[in-house]
Amino acid sequence: MSRSPSLPDRPHRDIDPDLPDDERIEALRGHYEDLVEVNEQLSDQLEEADQRRQRLHERVDRVERENETLKSSSLYIATVEDVLDDEEVIVKQHGNNQEVLTEISSRLADRVAAGDRVAVNDSFAIQTILDAETDARAQSMEITERPEVGYEDIGGIDEQVREVREAVEQPLAEPEIFEEVGIEPPSGVLLYGPPGTGKTMLAKAVANKTDATFIKMAGSELVRKFIGEGSRLVRDLFEMAREREPAIIFIDEIDAIAATRTESKTSGDAEVQRTMMQLLSEMDGFEARGEIRIIAATNRFDMLDRAILRPGRFDRLIEVPEPDRDGREQILEIHTRGMNVGDDIDFATLADDTEGYSGADIESLATEAGMFAIRNERDEVCHQDFLEAVEKIENDDSSDVISSAGYFYQ
Ligand SMILES: Nc1ncnc2c1ncn2[C@@H]1O[C@H](COP(=O)(O)OP(=O)(O)OP(=O)(O)O)[C@@H](O)[C@H]1O
C-alpha cells in the first residue's frame, strides 16, 4: 500500500515592523506567494487522497461482491482418491460417487493428500480441505468394531440382560426362529432409567456377543453441537449401519431429539422436530428381520414423545433401575476383579453402605479405594480403604451441592 505523502512545511517569514512601508509590502507579498504555493500543494495532496479513497472503496465493493458469491454458491463434498502430480488429483463426489480428474490450485497443492475430504465447486475445483472439525459425521458417531464388554461385566440387572438378549441378540443370531414362528422381532428397544446403571454397557455387550459393529450417537450432541445437521446425521447413521451390517445402532439420550412437542415454535424446536421425523422415517422403513438392531437410552422417560413408542418403532421398553443391595454386591465384585484386594473385604456390608449408588458410582468407589491404598503405600486394597472411599465420595457429593448452590446464588 502507498504511504500518505508528508505535509509541506508551513511558510514562515519574520517581517520587521520597523521596515519602511515598501519593503514590508514586498516581504508580505513574498509571504503571500509562499502561502499560495503551499495551498496548491495541499490541494493536490487532497485530490490524490480522494482518488485513493475512491480506489479503496471500489476494492472493498469488489471483495464484498466476491465474498457474497462465494457464500451463496454451494460447494459439494468429495474425497481425494489419488494425487497424480502437483497439479492434478482424482476426486470422488459424495452422494453420486462420480469420479473426476481435476486440477488443483498452487495454494492447496502441497497440502492435499489421498483420503482427504474436500469441498469442490460446480467445476470440481477444490475450494477447501475439510479438517476433522468439519467432519461432523465422524465426530457425531462413535464406532467400535467389537466392543470389549461382555454380559459377565454387568451386575445386578440379570432380568434386563435376559430381555435385551431376547429382543436384540436373538433376532440377529437366529433370525430363522422368528421366521418359522411368523412374528416380527421388536424393531427398537428403549432402555430407560437413572444415569450410570449400565444401559450403554448392555448395548455394547450385545454387539460383542453378536460380532456386530457398535455405532453410538448421542441425541444431546446432535442438538447442541451439530445444529442444522441433525436430520442428515441421522440418515448417515442408518447408512453407516447398512454399510457395516451386522450392526447395533445405539442412540443415547434420545430424549434430546424425541421430547414431547412444546408450544414454542422457535427454529431450534423445528430443527429438533426434523431430526426426530428423520429418525421415525428411518425406523418405519426398516427391515425388522435385518442385520441391524436399534437400541435407544434415556434418563428422562417422562419427557418422551409417545410417537416414538408406537409399534414398529421403540416397541420394547426395558427399565434399567438403580441396583439393589444384591446388585451392588455383584457390581462391587465385578469392579474389583482386576484389583489386588485383601481377604478382609466384606462386599456384603459394603453393599449395605452404598445404598443409592449406581454402577458408575461403584466403579469410582473401587478406583478411589485403590487410591487410598496407594496413598498408604500398600499394593493391596483393604476394607478400610473402601470405607474411607465411601466417606470421601459422600463428602465430595455434599461439597458439590454446596458449591453449585453457592454459584447459583452469587
Ligand atoms: N450394572 C452395572 N454393572 C457393572 N458396571 C456398571 C453397571 N452400571 C454401570 N456400570 C459402570 O458404570 C459405567 C457407566 O455405565 P453406562 O455408561 O453403561 O451407564 P448408562 O446407564 O448408559 O449411563 P448414562 O445414562 O449416563 O449414559 C460403566 O462403564 C461401568 O463401569
Model pLDDT, residue 131: 67
Q: Report yes or no: 140 and 130 within 8 Å, Cβ to Cβ.
A: no
Q: What is the pLDDT of residue 410?
A: 24
Residues 298 and 248 in one domain: yes
Pocket test for ligand 1, best of 201, 250, 335 (most atoms within 8 A of CB): 201
Q: Find the 271 Cα to ligand 1 centroid distance in Å.
A: 30
Residues 6+ away with beta carbon under 8 Å from 388: 369, 372
Q: Whose CA is nearest to atom 16 of ligand 1?
A: 198
Distance CA 90, CA 103 (A): 9
Query: Does residue 389 line the site of ligand 1, with CB under 6 A?
Result: no
Is residue 24 assigned to a domain? yes
Return all residues near 254 (Cβ < 8 A) that are at least 6 apart. Answer: 190, 219, 296, 297, 298, 304, 308, 314
- Write down which residue in 56, 72, 88 finishes a domain: 72
Same domain, 300 and 373: no
Strand partners, 297: 191
Domain housing 364: 325-409
Q: Considering 319, 339, 372, which residue would you say is the last residue of a domain?
A: 319
Quickly list H helices, 211-302.
219-224, 230-243, 267-284
Cis peptide before 246 (omega within 30 of 0): yes
What pLDDT tens digit does each residue of the chain (410 aa) get? 445 567 777 777 777 888 888 888 888 898 899 999 999 999 999 999 999 999 999 988 888 877 776 665 667 888 888 888 778 899 888 767 788 999 888 778 788 888 788 888 888 888 888 765 456 666 778 888 888 999 999 999 999 999 999 999 998 888 888 889 988 888 889 999 999 999 999 999 999 999 998 999 988 887 776 666 778 888 888 888 888 888 999 999 999 888 776 555 555 677 788 888 888 888 887 766 578 899 999 999 988 888 888 888 888 999 999 999 999 999 999 999 999 998 899 999 999 999 999 999 999 999 999 999 999 999 999 999 999 999 998 887 654 433 333 322 22
98 with 176, same domain: the answer is no
The confidence score (pLDDT) of residue 339 equals: 92
The count of residues in the chain is: 410
Dihedral pair phi/psi, residue 278, rounded to 5°: -65, -40
Residue located nearest, by CA, to atom 23 of ligand 1: 196
Could you tell me the three cell numbers for 397?
A: 457429593
C-beta of 219 in contact with ligand 1 (< 6 A): no
The answer to whether residues 195 and 305 belong to one domain is yes
Residue nearest atom 30 of ligand 1, based on CA coordinates: 360
Ligand 1 atom 19, closest CA? 196
Grid coordinates of 247: 450392526
Take residue 214 and report the three cell numbers written for it. Answer: 457398535
Instruction: Tell how strand 88-93 and strand 188-192 pair up.
Output: unpaired
Residues at the binding site are: 196-201, 335
Residue list, annotated binding site for ATP: 196-201, 335
Q: Are 277 and 403 in the same domain?
A: no
Instruction: Determine contact, residues 210/173, Cβ cutoff 8 Å.
Output: yes
In a domain, 1, yes or no: no
- The Cα angle at residue 191 between residues 258 and 276, in degrees rounded to 5: 15
Nearest to 144 by CA among 83, 208, 57, 100: 208
Is the residue at 181 inside a domain? Answer: yes
| Whether 215 and 170 share a structural domain | yes
Q: Which amino acid residue places its CA nearest to atom 24 of ligand 1?
A: 195
For ligand 1, whether the C-beta of 196 sits within 6 Å is yes
* C-alpha cell belonging to residue 341: 484386594
Question: Quick one: how many helices (H) and strands (E) in the chain?
Answer: 14, 11
Q: Give yes or no for residue 336 CB within 6 A of ligand 1.
A: no
Among 298, 320, 337, 363, which residue has the most ligand 1 atoms within 8 Å of its CB, making it the best to mutate? 363
Q: Distance from the CA of 380 to the center of ligand 1, in angstroms?
A: 25
Q: Do the domain assignments include residue 237?
A: yes
Cα 98 to its chain centre, rounded Å, is 29
> Looking at this protein, which amino acid is placed at residue 56?
L
d(CA 370, CA 336): 10
The confidence score (pLDDT) of residue 3 equals: 54
Between CA 341 and CA 350, with CA 344 as vertex, the angle to 5 degrees is 85
Best mutation site among 197, 252, 368 for ligand 1 pocket (most ligand atoms within 8 Å of CB):
197
Q: What is the ipTM of this complex?
A: 0.97
pLDDT of residue 400: 47
Domain count, the chain: 4
- Taking CA atoms only, the protein residue closest to ligand 1 atom 28 is 360
CATH code of 364's domain:
1.10.8.60
107 and 155 share a domain? no
